[in-house]
Amino acid sequence: MTRIIKVAMLHIEPRTADIDTNRTLISNALRKAAQAGVKWVLTPEMAVSGYFFEEVIGTKWISPQPDSWLKKILELCKSLDVGLFLSYPEKDPSNGKCYNCLFAVNRQGELVGKHCKIEVHPGTEEGWSSPGCRLSVFEMDGCKLGMLICADTYDGEHAKILAKHGAEIIIAAAAWGNKYPPEERWKKRSAETGLPLWVCNRTGKENQVDFTQARSVVVEDGCEKLVYLGETPAMLVYDFDTATKKTLSRSFTVIDMPLL
């Protein structure tokens, strides 16, 4: 097994309710990442739909997973030899509830992990989503991983549970602007658990919410090791040692991500 792998965060600008365009953007990004030698790709929260999709298109498009598009993504990951951490909603067919999910797809095109956002905000733009209730750790390329979504990192409880269950890295998808700067909380989560925390955030503006100064970060030992802050969508690439669980890069390699 390769010890040092390239990881990419997709610091992108999802279009509100434009499902087809956002899906194409993610598929193209996977191909571009593979060409750059990347083995793991991370997406921000609500990468497929945008954050404020419900007021435009509702929730009828949300399906039990894997739906037909996610099945195509599984095949694409297998063909490209790339793992993916995909923020994509899911409907439970047993009760009709919808969840804000982060799926982990390994390089063999298999779904190996799922996290449903726990800290949702009822009565707001997240009112479509029921809160998740489980935290789990899974293995990918010899690493034990845990996942969180945005506000799940606000307090320390969830990260501590993942650490207790054996996680070696915590991966988080975020749609978190700078109205309530999260950086100190991300540092605390890493310091409290002793684990690296990777946060893939986003850019752009949606429904008057400004994400243009939002950060994507790699935090280790309670300190920001890699930081990207910029209005321009970008693929952020870095080298990671799966044996030591340490990031080797001193800065992100920034690859432009043109808007569709």
pLDDT tens sequence across 157-192:
999 999 999 999 999 999 998 777 788 999 999 999
Structure letter (DSSP) for residue 15: P
Q: Which two tokens stand for residue 22?
A: 């956002």
Q: Domains in the chain and their CATH numbers?
A: 4-256 (3.60.110.10)
What is the value of pTM for the model shown? Answer: 0.97
Exposure of 131 by Cβ count < 10 A (0-12 exposed, 13-18 middle, 19+ buried)?
A: middle
Interaxial angle between packed helices 183-193 and 157-164, expressed in degrees from 0 to 180 and rounded to the nearest 10 = 30
- Stretches where the chain sits below pLDDT 50 are none
**pLDDT attached to residue 1:** 58
**pLDDT attached to residue 98:** 98
**pLDDT attached to residue 183:** 83
